[in-house]
Amino acid sequence: MSDNDPVRAEPVEAPALPREWVCLSAALEESGRAVGWDVLEYGRPQRAFVLRVDGVPRAYLNRCLHVPVEMDWTPGEFLDSERRYILCSIHGAAYEPRDGRCVGGPCGRGRLTTVAVVEEAGQVYWYPSRDIRPVVFDDAPQAPNAAPPPAA
């Protein structure tokens, strides 16, 4: 290699952040109330929520596509009276809870921002991403909804 050769740097992947605890599995009833927690999206505070649909926890940012506001009717209540769709409490945009896709109302063709979650051994965890990060206070991860799970 001569001094005139360009120096190529290999892209450096940021290390994946560890998953974060959200709640006990038992806190999520089928098509029931959601559990919410705080996150940072691009460094800005946002709320996220997880609910159980078809037996699977599904999580999204709590932000309507029509106007960027939180959607729940009361804390944790996102579903319509039939427990079929996520329904924004402001102007009634309806979202498919299985994938966050807008299916009616003023939310256009978009979909809610998904947050990756996993259920394991009776606990629900979320995975931070490049864009969505945990809120950290005093160098300690936030415990959003109760005491962390007991050590295995």
Q: Which residues in this chain contact ligand FES in the complex, by CB under 6 A?
A: 64, 66-67, 69, 71, 88, 90-93, 105-106
Q: How far is the CB of 9 from ligand FES (least distance, A)?
A: 43
Residue nearer to ligand FES on the CB measure, 52 or 66: 66
Q: Is the dihedral of CA 14, 136, 111, 57 positive or negative?
A: positive
Residue nearer to ligand FES on the CB measure, 95 or 125: 95
Question: In 1-152, at which residue ranges do the beta strands (DSSP E only) sit?
Answer: 20-24, 35-41, 44-53, 56-61, 86-87, 94-95, 102-104, 114-115, 117-120, 123-126, 132-134, 136-137, 140-141
Q: How far is the CB of 85 from ligand FES (least distance, A)?
A: 12
Residue nearer to ligand FES on the CB measure, 89 or 129: 89
